[in-house]
Structures are given as structure tokens and as C-alpha cells.
Structure 1
Amino acid sequence: MAYTSRIGVRGYRFESLGELLAKASPERSGDHLAGIASASAEERMAARLALAEVPLLRFCEELLIPAEDDEVTRLICDRFDRAAFQPIASLDVGAFRDWLLSDAVDGAVLNALAPGLMPEMLAAVSKLMRNQDLVLTARKVRVATRFRNTLGGAGVLSVRLQPNHPTDDARGVAASILDGLMFGCGDACIGINPASDEPERLAPLWRLLDELIARFEIPTQSCVLAHVTRQIAAIEAGLPLDLVFQSIGGTEGLNRSFGIDLALLREAHDAGRSLRRGAVGDNVMYFETGQGSALSAGAHHAIDQQTLEARAYAVAREFEPLLVNTVVGFIGPEYLYDGKQILRAALEDHFCGKLMGLPMGVDVCYTNHAEADQDDMDTLLTVLGTAGVNYIMGVPGADDVMLNYQSTSFHDALYVRRALGLRPAPEFEAWLEKQGIVDATGTPIADGRMAALSDLRAFVDGRSA
């Protein structure tokens, strides 16, 4: 079906809902690379005018990718809760935006609505929203998840401690973990991106993290971000896994390029839960996503990258994850050209994920060949903290020496918590206080941390070089 609108004397016609969504998207280098972006600001505005008049029910009727060709589409349709959808069933996309921003709509209303939202509906309404609209609406929603601690509560900002090392050296990894713990990082998880995916190199990392957490009774969870098949095999071999990780996407073709499908994710989810390692909950999955990955895999179906990113959240939602992370600037300027595009994409991803009921984190990051710098990331970090992001990354010096990209440091996490009055997960904060890292108000104790962590330092020194 075609969609039309007019600006002045000039009329515009969009041949499908997919084309309309792509043309309505904010400026994005990846959509230009795919050949689907608007040719001008005027065409973009015309598309938004037409999109505002599209009934939300149309997204149930005009599927962007046919269900017979794509298991993600089938999942979206199968899980669509029409009863939950009823409060907004009569609205078009423009009216949905106004409804979301109204004072009568709070977090409880949005949490109840989440099962009745298709990701394409949220992608559509986000294209009509200013940055402040995305912040204000996402801020209404809190999504709490639990494993060894409770993440996502009001006033809580957690940090994934990311102690990557270019050779997976145990002492180097442990030293980075110690550094992060001293700054109150690690409550989301301690998660290593391994340099090698070979089982004999992965097993020592799982054992290292398990020994550290158990010896010092740290109320957090660990993850080694290997391929999900490696993790299933590790579980079968009796290795001590906490979280099960996998990169996912919004089309069946993209997920196949990752070597996965929904059946494999279900197997991994069941395997992770079978270990029963959680202390306060059983959210065992950790997913990462990123705009542009479908285009890289040749699996984008001429759909804009932000809409496909929102579809990835339907996959994540199926498995009740502890953590979902959009690695927003990691792929590079081919998809998000500069700091402005990275900021916008991060706010869209956070908004769409939160409204779908997901515990959204954002890797506030960029590559060194993007038109972005750390000042752009400071701005994004502050805005995301205001928007209620569940967690961010904590990387030594903000410079990942293994993955070669720029992220946020332990100091950045300390900054945003101080600036916005945010705290770690409650169980983790109690541990920090017990260790003498923070006082009863959550303020770091600058003079006492090294002495308080002498045992942890000894643990680091005891690792083989």
C-alpha cells in the first residue's frame, strides 16, 4: 500500500510501509549506504507527516518482512498481546506519540502495555520524537532484573566491568577487575570479551571469575562473551558459568550470520537456568545488539537500521534477559557517522528497548575513525543517565585495548553517579561499604580503598603472568 503527503505544492509518495519508515528516519549514514534514506530534509519531513497518520493496527496488517520468510517476524506476531494493546488500538502513530508524553501515562501503564507493542510501532513513533521526548518517555519506565543482585531499580545505575586483555592474560584481567571494583563498578556483571574462542583458552577465564566472586563474596555475576555454542558446551563440561551471552539481530538472516537461531537460544537459555547459580533471581541471558549489523550481513531486507534494531529487542524479550546492551557506536561511521548520529541512535535504542520491557544498557562508544570524540560521549552518558539507562560499560581508561574502540571508563561511571545522584545495585553497594570502598552515603573513600582491598591485590598478584 502507498502512503502520500504534501509539503507546499509538492506531493510525495511512498510505496510501502518499509519505505515510509526508512524515509522518515533521522539522518543516518548506514541508511544512505543501503540506498534507502531520504534524499532531502523536505522528503524526510514529508515522510514523517505521512507516518504520523498511519494507524498502529497497520503494523499488524502490513508486515515489513513476510512471516513465511523470517522467524523473527513470526515471533513478533505470535507474541503480540492484543489485550495489552487495547488502550492504544484506536491511535495512529502521531497520536501515540502524544499519548506517551501525556502526564496520565506513567511507568505502570507502560509496563502493562509492553506485551502489546510490536517493535515496528515503537520504531515508527520514535521517528516522530525529539531527543527530549525519547528521554522523558524512557525515564518513566523501570525494568528490574535479578541474578545475584537486583538491577534496574529507581535511582540505580549499574556498570559492566569490562576487563578485556589482548592475550587473555589472567593477571592483566584480574588487575583491571581490581581497578574497576575500587571505583564501584561491576554490579551489572564482570564480563570479558575473550581474545580467543578456543575452549582451552576460555575455561581459565570462567574459573578465574568464579574464584574471584566466590572468594570475596561479591554479589555480582560473570560472563565470558564467547559464542553461545561454546557456552553450552562449557555448561555440559561442568564449567562455572553465570550468564549466557550472544549477539542477536532483528532478522532471521542476520541471526544465521551469527550462527544462531531461536531454537539454539532456547537451548542456551534452558542450559543456563539449569545451573541454578543465581542468588536472588534466574535472569541468565545477556544480549548485545547494534544498528547496522543487518546491513553488514546482507540481511536487512531494505528496512532501515533503527527499525531492524528494534526488532532485535523482540528476540531478546523472548528470553527474559538480565542485560541487553546496544553497542551503539561500535560498528563505525559507515552506519553512524558522527557524535550526533551516535547520540540519536542511542536514545532511540534505549527508548524502544525500555518500552518493550527490556533492561536496556548502552555501550557509550565510538571508533577512532568516526567523527566523534570523548566530549560527545560525555554528553551522551549524561543524557542516558537522565533517561534512566540500566547500565553502562566500565573500561580501564575508556580505551578497550583488545577490541580497539573507545568506551566509558570507571571514572566516567563515578562521574555520572555523582552528577545525577545515582547508586549501584543495592546488594553490591552494601558489599562496597563492607569492603571500605564507599561510606554509608555511597561516597567513595579515597584514602581507604587500597588498604581495604589488600586481599584483592594479593589475589591479583597470585595470578600467573
Structure 2
Amino acid sequence: MKLKTKLFGNVYKFKDIKELLAKANEEKSGDMLLGIGAATISERVAAKVVLSELTLEDLRKNPVVPYEEDEVTRVIEDMVNEKIYQQIKNWTVGYFREKILSYETTGNEILRISKGLTAEMVAAVAKLMTNMDLVYGASKIRVTGKANYEIGKAGTLSFRLQPNHPTDSIEGIIASMMEGLSYGCGDAIIGINPVEDTIENTKRIMEAINEFMVEWRIPTQTCVLSHISTQMEAIKRGAPVSVLFQSVAGTEAANKAFGINKDLIQEAFELIKKHGTAPGPNLMYFETGQGSEMSLNTDHGADEMTLEARTYGFARKFMPFMVNNVSGFIGPETLYDGKQILRANLEDHFMGKLMGLPMGMAPCYTNHVNTDQNDQETATMLLAMAGANYYMGVPVGDDVMLSYQDTSYHDDATLRELLNLKPAEEFFHWLIDMGIMKENGKLTGRAGDASIFLKK
């Protein structure tokens, strides 16, 4: 295994694959803060050259966190399809990139290959890609999820209705739900981030949004984004909900900091299958984002992009209904500006799909990051071209509870019109029946009028 190259008269040598992966990464403030990123552009290019010549077998044999030390590594390694792996193990990373981007390679072929991959392989090939490569490669891959119905089908674009409220007021949540629904938002899921993470409050919100959904016969899914153990207790007490949520990470130590492990997620999966309101088979909702391991000091010296790929490797074990990436949520210590957030968004969407996950995106940002609305909208349009299954729908794009910026109800409608996409089929027919949307997928004059839900 060769870990050095000569470039512009200089010899660049890397001590191991972990260092090589970090140096080959596009510049991220989190990697620079840890002192593991490339010091110069030349060093980054040299690392990419060396990485392109490694085989997929080299990467499998050298995970950034050893098998015996980390549960996430074990989950990923133990899921590898050995027959498929044997067919591709001698491919170089450079060849793998060309294979994905070849016009002759279909999305189904890529998904078959994905069963033989580890996270390090996925991260490695993404590091060799330009932004356009990431958009094109991801656009080939389609992965759907089914809870009450299927989202992510060709020709559709879905949205999570996120009517958060700073005091968990049911009246405020319902009012925001009404507005979002009137814009055609909510076919992915109606999901609330509660302020108060208690069993009683979680159960109260679960019951309220389910009651509204049943009353108006809205064909969608519901979720309350408390800690997964809180949600589980609410379900055991009879709360109705379709999908269980949890943030997950790329190392065992980071997941432990989140208060989870493989066994807890498996227990939750079994519980929602037995007591949830949706038939499935996909009943888990995971949220991820570059930099969480670094911010928790649980990164093991690995770069944040590779760790994000490992997060997807962990998530796929539980057949999720949706995976939402929020790489811009932490702040400038992980992704400094709009350029870095955009790159991370494209990487994450591509890597998640390459891992066989139904990826949605939240090209979000916090107000202390060096970015703006134009950066966010650029990322949103590129990700829509890349085939993201869904986005968030937040009133005016400003979450008043979490204090960050995300896609608005208006953005959601604009994206569908730009790309001639429609909501998920069942939800689309409901919107037509409600007079909110026309059969051609365009909104009617009733769109944005939340008062339609005040009239029986």
C-alpha cells in the first residue's frame, strides 16, 4: 500500500489512511481546528492523488476507528455483502469514481455495489469528486422510504412540516401546521422539536398532531423529536406516532454522548414496528451532520466527512424511512462559511445515497456563521437537482424555537415549480381535494390561507 507521491518536485508522505483521508478532504474548519487538514492546496492535491490509487480493499482493512474499539465500525463491517465486496475489492478509488460517473452505470447498479462498501470507501470516492460530480452521481441514485406511504419516488419532492413553537403551545403548533399544509408542505412528515423533553409533553404533542391529522384525513406521518428513550416511553403509555426519531453519529463515543447505542436503537425499532401507527417497513427517522463528533471530542482524530459517512453506515442497519442532514447546524467551528456548508451538503447527500439511504436535506445555517440566504438557496437548488427526497418546511425559513435558518414553506413550493415536481402521490390527491393544489401540481389561489382549516 503506497502512501506517498511526488508532486511539483516535493515528496508528500502520509503515515496512515486516517491521515490521508483527512488531508484529501476539502477544507473544513473542524479539520483545521483539530490540526488534521491539509496545510496547503498542494498537500491536498497530493493526498487526493495517493487516495485515488488505493484499492477498496486497502480502505476496508484500515477503518479510521478499529473494529475492536468501536461499535459503529463493527455495525458497518458486519453488514458488508461479501460476494459483492469480492467483486470490487481490487478497484482503485479513482476507478470507482469513474464507474459511478460513467453514463453507462445506472443507479440500480450503484445501489448493488453499495452493499459491498464500507464508510471509508464511500468517503474516499466522494473526496475525489467536484461539486458537479457529487450532484450528478447522487442524481442517478433513488432510494425511497415507506411508513404510511412511500416518499422519494421519481417526479416527487416532499417536505417535513416543522411547526416548532418556543413554548410548545399546542395552539401555536397547530396554527403553524395549518399554514404549512396550505402551501402543500408536510407530505414527508409532520415533525415537532419540543422545547421540553419529557414523556408527558412528548405524549401531549403526539396526541395533538395525530388528532389533527385524523380529523382532516391527512395522509402523512407524524413524529415528535424528543430523545428516543422519551418517545419510547410515550408510546408505551399509548401515544400515537408513526415514526421514531434520533440523532446519530459516526463513532460509538459520540453515540454514547447522545445517550444511545445499537441495542437501544434496535429496541426502539422493534417497539415502533409493534405499536406505531404506520405499517412501514421503514419506521426510523435519523438526523446527522458533519462535525458532531469533533464538537463532542469523540472524533478519534478522523476527519468530519469520513465520520459522517460512518454515521450513514450505522443508520442503514435500521432501514430508516428518512435521514436528514443538518451539517450547517453546529456553527463555524465545524463549517466556517457558506462555501464549506455547501460542499458538506453535497458530500453528505451523495454519501448517504451511496450508502443506500433515503436522504433528505436541511441546507441550514445558524446566525453566527459567515453565510447568508443566497448561499442557502444555492445549496437548496443544487441538492434538488441532485435528487434529495425532501427538505424542511419552516415558517418564513426562521425556526423560532431552534433559532436557525432553514427552507421555508415558500421555498418548498418554489422548488417544486422550478423542477416540475409534485408531492407524494397520496398527499397530492389530498391537496387537490382540499383545493390547495391543481392537478398539474401548481398551487391554487387558496395556497397560504390557513383559515381553510377553520371551516368544517
TM range (shorter): over 0.9
Does the Cα contact within 8 Å between 1:283 and 1:321 map onto a contact in 2?
Answer: yes
Amino acid paired to 1:147 = A
AA aligned opposite 2:171: R
Residue 462 of structure 1 aligns with which residue?
A: none
CA–CA distance in structure 1, aligned partners of residues 216 and 174 of structure 2:
13
Residue 147 of structure 2 is aligned to residue 147 of structure 1: yes
Question: Match for residue 89 of structure 1?
Answer: 89
> Structure 1 93/417 Cα, relative in aligned 2: closer, same or farther at 3 Å?
same
1:188·1:391 contact (CA, 8 Å) conserved in 2? Answer: yes
- Asked if structure 1 preserves the Cα contact closer than 8 Å seen for 2:60 and 2:120, the reply is no
**1:57 partner SS:** helix
5+ residue gaps in structure 2?
none
Q: What displacement does 1:145 show? A: 1.1
**Structure 2: distance between partners of 1:448 and 1:308:** 41
Q: Distance in 1 between matches of 2:454 and 2:343?
A: 41
* Equivalence map 1:235-274=2 (5 Å): 235-274=235-274
Equivalent residue number for residue 392 of structure 1: 391
- One-letter code of the match for 1:325? N
Q: CA deviation at 1:297?
A: 1.1
Structure 2 residue matching 1:138: 3-state secondary structure = helix
In 2, distance between residues paired with 1:404 and 1:154? 33
Distance 2:335 2:60 in 1: 29
Q: Secondary structure at the match of 1:11?
A: strand
Matches within 5 A, 1:186-335: 186-279=186-279, 281-335=280-334
Question: How much has 1:66 moved relative to structure 2?
Answer: 1.0
Distance 1:358 1:233 in 2: 27
User: Which residue pairs with 1:63 in the alignment?
Assistant: 63
1:339 and 2:347 equivalent?
no
Conserved 8 A contact 2:200-2:234: no
TM superposition shift of 1:449: 6.7
**1:89 CA displacement:** 2.6
The one-letter code sitting in structure 2 at the alignment partner of 1:166 is P
- Equivalent residue runs for 1:11-90 within 5 Å: 11-90=11-90
Q: Which residue of 2 aligns with 1:456?
A: 453
Contact in 2 for aligned 1:328/1:362 (Cα 8 Å)? no
- Checking the alignment, whether the CA contact within 8 Å between 1:276 and 1:282 is kept in structure 2 is no
Q: CA deviation at 1:85?
A: 2.7
Is 1:9 paired with 2:6?
no
* Counterpart check, 1:369 vs 2:368: yes
Instruction: Give 5+ residue unaligned stretches, structure 1.
Output: 460-465
Q: Per the alignment, in what secondary structure is the counterpart of residue 115 of structure 2?
A: helix
The superposition leaves residues 52-109 of structure 1 with CA deviations (integer Å, 9 ceiling, x where unpaired) of 1001111221222111110111111111112123443321011111111111211110
State the shift of 1:448 in Å: 7.0
Whole-Å separation in 1 of the counterparts to 2:218 and 2:429: 10
AA at the equivalent of 1:84: I
Query: What RMSD over aligned residues (CA atoms) do the two structures have, in Å?
Result: 1.3
After TM superposition, the score normalised by the length of structure 2 is 0.98
Shift of 1:457: 2.5
Deviates more, 1:17-26 or 1:67-76: 67-76
* Aligned counterparts of 1:69 and 1:27: Cα–Cα separation in 2: 28
Q: How many residues align?
A: 456
Letter matched to residue 411 of structure 2: D
Measure the CA separation in 2 of the matches of 1:232 and 1:148: 19
Contact 2:421 2:441 in 1 (8 A): no
Task: Quote the Cα distance in structure 1 between the aligned partners of 2:63 and 2:371.
Answer: 36
Structure 1 residue 2 displacement after superposition: 6.5
Matched, 1:433 2:432: yes
Tell me by how many angstroms 1:389 deviates: 0.4
